[in-house]
Amino acid sequence: MYPIARPYIKLSLFFSLFQFWKYFGNTSIIEFESIAKNVFDRTYAVAYSSGRVAIQKLFEAKQIVGQDVAIPSYTCIVVPYAVELSGNNPIFVEPSDRDFTVPISELSQHAGIVIQTHMFGEVQEFVSVPDNVFIIEDSCLAVGSSCNGYKAGTIGDVSVFSFNQSKQLGGIGGGVLLTDDKKLYEKLKSNQECKIGFINECKNILKLLLYWVYYKKWVYTLFKSFGLSKKNDDNFSLKDCTLSTDCSKGLSFIEMRVNTFLLKHKDVILKERKKIEKWYDLYLGEIKGVKRFVYSSEMALSHCWLILNKNRDIVRKKLYSEGINTGIANEYSCPTTPYYKDKYEPSLFKNTTHIGDSIINLPYYIGLKKTDVAHICAVFKRIYEEI
Ligand SMILES: Cc1ncc(COP(=O)(O)O)c(C=O)c1O
């Protein structure tokens, strides 16, 4: 059984956890922030327990309340939730049917604060916007991507990256906010919640060990075959992410150590992911009724996504029965999710609804071999053509 995503956990990571002196003081946080700002080419970095918390804390530090914030309507639901939790109002802006992203020039027509999202790694062409527009660059899915030489994460007033399990630098969690603004950095640092405590750190070590074991192909297959884990445990569940959830949990030194490891291995990780992307290009080819945009070489894809004309849910079920788990990434349109559906007119978000209803994500993680990708593509093609 193939999972949809798998964190990058190597034996050498565990050795790096044994550097006990890094657990004293804030050494782990300082080391992570220092490597993050260098890797992402910014002046300052502030660590958080997730990307969503970084966004929420940003608004709090800047004392922004009651403001409209323009957000692409096709994005991860936790982004508008973070805006809501900070006391501001998300304004959804629909992408064109050509792709997933909304250009900054369009977002900035709707609000003075915008969240520019590089969905699935696609960075929009850089255009200058009025100085009074505050740009939060959501680069959570765009590690290593760029457009016309502008690297994801270097465009906005601030930018955010995530280290959750399904991201390019997928670990056990964590996020980082980057900026070149010294005053903002100092404010963010003074509000940073450090240390989650010994018990929670132990839970994180356990989580790391569990992930390491669980995602081994044979263990994963065993769990799925005997129903030992939820059938859809790889799917993002809207129920798990309610607005009332306070997801701020402080900083974990273990997460810091894992994410420092991931940043140090970024080039290897991206190279491996590019390899997988090429295999998908090779084996998927053109399939009638299936859309997958061909991106430039400047892109490092975060997911292998396809937009299907025919019934996505049946395809997913059949793939599952043949040992291929799919999903996880944004199978919904934000304005039509339970929390927002009464506040927004669905007919205004036709493209987003279409993407949310027809997208499928094939397994995409380091560890997949060329033969695995060939197999996944062959099964997918057969099933798709059969229905
Ligand atoms: C586009 C996008 N932005 C932000 C986030 C938030 O990241 P995190 O899970 O670290 O809060 C995610 C993923 O969850 C995402 O897909």
Domains and CATH numbers, the chain: 11-191 (3.40.640.10)
Q: What is the pLDDT confidence band of residue 236, given thresholds at 50, 70 and 90?
A: low
Q: Hey, CA dihedral for 21, 202, 209, 238, is it positive or negative?
A: negative
Which of 52, 124, 161, when mutated, tests ligand 1's pocket best, judged by the most ligand atoms within 8 Å of its CB?
52
Ligand 1 atom 7: residue of nearest CA: 51
The upper half-sphere exposure of residue 90, i.e. CA atoms within 13 Å in the direction of its Cβ, equals 30
**Strand, helix or coil for residue 266:** helix
Give the mean pLDDT of the chain. 89
52 Cα to the center of ligand 1, angstroms: 6
The pLDDT value given to residue 237? 57
Percent of all residues in the chain with a pLDDT value above 70, rounded to a whole number = 93
43 Cα to the center of ligand 1, angstroms: 22
- Ligand 1 neighbour 133 (Cβ under 6 A): no
Q: Are 198 and 71 in contact (CB under 8 A)?
A: no
Round to the nearest angstrom and report the end-to-end CA distance of the chain.
22
Percent of all residues in the chain with a pLDDT value above 90, rounded to a whole number = 59
- Ligand 1 neighbour 77 (Cβ under 6 A): no
Which contiguous run of DSSP H or E holds residue 37? helix 27-39
- Ligand 1 neighbour 269 (Cβ under 6 A): no
The pLDDT value given to residue 297? 75
Q: Is the pLDDT of residue 281 over 80?
A: yes
Ligand 1 atom with the smallest distance to the CA of 247 is 11
16 Cα to the center of ligand 1, angstroms: 26
Q: What is the pLDDT confidence band of residue 197, given thresholds at 50, 70 and 90?
A: confident
From CA 143, how far away is CA 31, in angstroms rounded? Answer: 19
